[in-house]
Amino acid sequence: MEKRQENLHCAFHLKGIPVSRGIAISKAFPLSGESVKIDPANISEAEIEAEIERFKQAVEKAKGELRSLQTKVARRIGQESAKIFDVHQLLLEDVLIIDETVDYIRRKHKSADFAFHDIMQKYQNTFDETSIEFFQGRASDIKDVKRRVIKHIQGDRTDYLNKLKGSAVVVAVDLTPSDAVKLDRHKLMGFATDLGGRTSHVAIMARSMGIPAVVGLRRISKVIKADDRIIIDGNEGVVLIEPDEETLSYYRDLQEKYYDTERRLSEIRDLPCITTDGKEIELSANLEFSDEAPSAKSHGACGIGLFRTDYLYLAKESLPTENEQVKDYSKIARVLAPDAVIIRTMDLGGDKHPKSLAIPPEENPFLGWRAIRISLERKDIFRTQLRAILRASRHGNIKMMFPMISGMDELLECKHEVEKVKVALRSEKIPFDENIELGVMIEVPSAAMLADRIAVHVDFLSIGTIDLVQYVLAVDRGNERIAYLYQHLHPAVLRTIERIVKAGHQAGVWVGMCGEMASDPLATLILLGLDLDELSVSPMSVPQIKKIIRATDYLDAVRITKKALTFDKARDVERFMTKVMRQRYKDIVF
Ligand code: PEP
Ligand code: MG
């Protein structure tokens, strides 16, 4: 195999961070290179001023977007790469271009997008025609600026993300959750992005959909062209563009072998998740979209440990109505019944910005107006969601969970809101599960320290390691530059988890984990040894984690965990666990 790999050839070979397993061979759909549709129809005299205003606002929005993209790229890739955006900013500040467009709209009675497109096209053509590389580069700058402004002029009238035709791998600088949610998931074969880390939302989405993804590729968006043939190896973090025939056939073989192994793993899906000495662990799945509930079940999950309701808010221009939510939650509850479905109330903010909610830009969005903080300020939105969850609760085994609780006040306020909504439903004679269980995500260090107190007020705790690791270690969860510091096997994280589980058990409640760490096979024995009652993992990880647990002796896991807790460094824990897994679980993990 080594020998064959040396013979692989392609136009570009890039290495990034593998975030969702599997191999995709498809054509590329670059999100920045799409063409835009312009309506050539004339506008009336009365529409002219509004059209000019629309144009000016679009320019301002494009400038703002560029500024935040520039900061992001500078922070994550470096100042040098971010300089490209200086040119784009300058173009947008060019008075000549702005005046020319305004004049065009006035004189020719054309829409703002038509006018700007025509003017920019003229400049672009001049540069396009030259054979000098420097000027060709300027042509692509103009094209990018043209597209960006037109996108803002057209706003939501034409959503370019909807233009995904046929199956393809989506390639982008970065993909926000609100972008990703607009893509037709049935046509998505994989993701490849310049930015992002293991826990960025594009990674979570890819895992939830079971499609391969590689992020942190730094420059893939620059080298890709629409319809290029592309291979995504989500196991190794490799992306190949325009491979030759030999490379293609090598990856086709690899793809077949990989999916064969997956098929074999899924054969255990109906078997219980129990250790060889009889300790049972609840193994459930994380879910982002209600229509994927059957897939969680078919992978062998015994419930949903985390339904991220956030995507309901991101998928639409307007807030999801109570009835829409009831429909979605009930659908999942019915598919999974009698197994439990834990619905987490909205976790917006951070990098999740729905159109329907104005979340102002913040210096530190992950430490800012996010999750439960938004819910408790926008009680109108929160109450609608609580009503919907309660109303759906009669269709199955629904539990409710609150994200990012950082102190007791927030939790008590949430419970108070639930009670108020219950009273209202009773008075309206609307049925719901009176005994619905309530839980809290433990993902903020202060909540971890207070877990013993928090546990007294709830029915369960669920550890959200994606945020917990980011906050305990002070490492941005989506920043590939410092991804090496993002270590969930860090001794400080392990001690924090140990503390939370003990606190929960002492208060008599069960403790689960719905964060990404639960899906990592290197962590499974430690989580068993730390006595977690439930693990909620991405659907595609269910068979593998179940197989490991079924091959493990619980007391042995406790011994291994004790040893793992003696190390001072994450790297040593990782080395130790890799050795253990290689020796005992070679067929399952490596
Ligand atoms: C987490 O933080 O671990 C988690 C599951 O929540 P999210 O990724 O949705 O923030
Ligand atoms: Mg979280």
Question: Annotated catalytic residue: which of 273, 302, 414, 514?
Answer: 514
395 is catalytic: no
Q: Which residue in this structure is represented by tokens 């109505």?
A: 321
Q: Which residues contact 244 (CB under 8 A, 6 or more apart)?
A: 8, 9, 10
- Position in ligand 1 atom list of the atom nearest CA 516: 3
3 by Cβ neighbours in 10 Å (0-12 / 13-18 / 19+) ranks as exposed
**Ligand 1 within 6 A of 465 CB?**
yes
Share of the chain above pLDDT 70, in %: 92
Q: Answer yes or no: is the C-beta of 233 below 6 A from any ligand 1 atom.
A: no
Averaged pLDDT, 506-533: 97
Work out the pLDDT band at 134, boundaries 50, 70, 90: low
Partners of residue 13 on adjacent β-strands: 240
Residue partners of 538: CB distance under 8 A and separation at least 6: 204, 207, 208, 285, 286, 519
Mean pLDDT of the chain: 89
- Structure confidence at residue 589 (pLDDT): 65
Whether the model clears a pTM of 0.85, i.e. scores above it, the answer is no
| CA angle, 415 then 420 then 421, to 5° | 100
Of 241, 232, 185, 242, give the one whose Cα is nearest residue 212.
Answer: 232
Ligand 1 atom 10, closest CA: 467
The verdict on the CB of residue 349 being under 6 Å from ligand 1 is: no
202 — pLDDT class (breaks 50, 70, 90): confident
Establish whether residue 308 lines the binding site of ligand 1, counting it when its CB lies within 6 angstroms of any ligand atom.
yes
> Which residue intervals of 289-364 are DSSP H helices?
293-298, 310-314, 322-336
Whether 416 is catalytic is no
Question: Rounded distance, CA 204 to CA 279, Å?
Answer: 29
Whether residue 458 has its Cβ less than 6 Å from ligand 1: no
Interval between CA 269 and ligand 2 midpoint (Å): 28
- Provide the pLDDT for residue 590: 55
CA dihedral (551, 552, 553, 559) in degrees, to 10, reads 160
Of 88, 152, 201, 353, which one is the catalytic site residue? 201
Q: Where are the beta strands (DSSP E) in 258-350?
A: 282-287, 303-308, 340-344
pLDDT, tens digit, 9 for 90 and up, residues 148-160: 888 888 764 445 5
Helix axes 48-76, 84-93, angle to 10 degrees: 160
Q: Which of 466, 469, 541 to mutate to test the pocket of ligand 1 (most atoms within 8 A of CB)?
A: 466
C-alpha distances in Å from residue 522, one per residue of 273, 480, 578: 17, 21, 7
At 254, phi and psi to the nearest 5? Answer: -60, -40
Q: Contact, 3 vs 206, CB < 8 A?
A: no
State the closest ligand 1 atom to the C-alpha of 514, by its place in the atom list counted from 1: 5
- Does 130 score more than 80 pLDDT? no
- Residue 467 near ligand 1, beta carbon < 6 Å: yes
Q: Can you tell me the distance from the alpha carbon of 535 to that of 292, in angstroms, rounded to the nearest whole number? A: 19
- Does ligand 1 lie within 6 Å of residue 88's CB atom? no
For the stretch 148-193, pLDDT in tens is 888 888 764 445 566 667 889 999 888 876 677 777 878 899 999 9
What's the rounded Cα separation, in Å, for the pair 385 and 345? 7
Protein residues near ligand 2, an ion, with CB under 5 A: 443, 464, 467
Closest ligand to the CA of 344:
1
Q: Tell me, what amino acid is at 322?
A: E
Q: Name the closest ligand to CA 518.
A: 1
pLDDT over 50 at 2, yes or no: no
Question: Strands, E, within 83-228: which ranges?
Answer: 168-172, 188-193, 213-215
The angle subtended at Cα 83 by Cα 77 and Cα 87, nearest 5°, is 145
For residue 283, the cross-strand partners are 535
Query: Which residue, judged by its Cα, is nearest atom 8 of ligand 1?
Result: 466
Token pair belonging to 551? 């091959």
- Tell me the C-alpha to C-alpha distance, in Å, between residue 506 and each of 148, 401, 500, 532: 55, 20, 10, 13
Q: What is d(CA 509, CA 456) in angstroms, rounded to the nearest whole number?
A: 8
**Is residue 347 within 6 Å of ligand 1 at its C-beta?**
yes
